Structure 1
Amino acid sequence: MFKKIMVATDGSVLADKALKTAVEQAKVEEAVLTILNVIPVTDMGSAEMIGLSRAEATKMKYPFLQKAQDYAANNGVEAKTLTLSGHPGPVIVDYLNSHPHDLVVLGHRGLSNIQALLMGSVAFKVANLAPCAVLIVK
């Protein structure tokens, strides 16, 4: 049913739970897994200001991506990593619109409904705008 699965990660505890869930699902479905990290605009701007390329900045500041890919491989799942920059919710949705996947998995932030309306959350935006099934892991 799910042949292309994407998991969005920022290296947090909830993102690690989402990764484990996505790897389990990919293994069961024999699906290809994309591990996506969205570098917030402010972090990418800082990297560029000191002359680092996106690849260098990613390796230095986001080593969890390699760990995530290794975790998938150690569990028999083919996975690729991808790093984009911008505001995470819209970037994830835009990527899914231009690169179709069957399922996206991401962690839940635990915001109350009022806070989610006032502040917005990545999970809320993706759940409402993604063109595919969304699994939010608590």
Structure 2
Amino acid sequence: MFKKIMVATDGSAQAEKALKTAVDLAKTEEAVLTILSVTPVTDMGSEGMIGLSRAEAAKMEVPFLRKAQEYAANHNVDARTLTLYGHPGQVIVDYLNGHPHDLAVLGHRGMSNIQAFLMGSVAYKVANLAPCAVLIVK
């Protein structure tokens, strides 16, 4: 049923639960897994966004992605990682529109409550705008 699964992660406890669920599903379905991280960034002129500049974000290492890929490999799941930059909800939706997947898996809430308030709920945005099935893991 699911041949291409995308899981979004920010390294939070909720994202860890989503990763474990996505890996289990990918193994059961023999699906390819994309582990996606979106680093929030600010651009000159954007208002209300908490994040890094693109130059700062590009220099960051994302250690939880390596850990996530190792977790998938240890469970015999073919996984690739990808880091994108911008407003997380919109970036995930845009990625799914340009790279069709059968399922997107997300944690219910990853970042701090203040960031979620300012940016809007990532899970809510993806659930409403994604072109594929969305599984939100609590």
AA partner of residue 136 (structure 2): I
* Paired positions, count: 125
Kindly, what percent of the aligned residue pairs are identical? 74
Unaligned runs of 5+ in 1: 111-115
Q: Which residue of 1 aligns with 2:69?
A: 69
Q: TM-score, normalised by structure 1?
A: 0.84
Unaligned runs of 5+ in 2: 43-50, 111-115
AA partner of residue 14 (structure 2): L
Q: Which residue of 2 aligns with 1:83?
A: 83
Q: Which residue of 2 aligns with 1:10?
A: 10
Computed over aligned residues only, the root mean square deviation of the Cα atoms, in angstroms, reads 2.1
Report how far residue 94 of structure 1 moved: 0.2
Task: Provide the secondary structure at the position in 1 that maps to 2:109.
Answer: coil
Q: CA separation in 2, counterparts of 1:96 and 1:119?
A: 19
Matches within 5 A, 1:1-138: 1-42=1-42, 43-45=51-53, 48=55, 54=58, 56-57=59-60, 59=61, 62-109=62-109, 120-138=120-138
Which 4+ runs in 1 deviate beyond 4 A? Answer: 116-119
Instruction: Report if aligned partners of 1:44, 1:85 keep a CA contact under 8 Å in 2.
Output: no
AA partner of residue 132 (structure 1): C
Q: CA separation in 1, counterparts of 2:6 and 2:135?
A: 10
- Higher helix content, 1 or 2: 1
Q: TM-score, normalised by structure 2?
A: 0.84
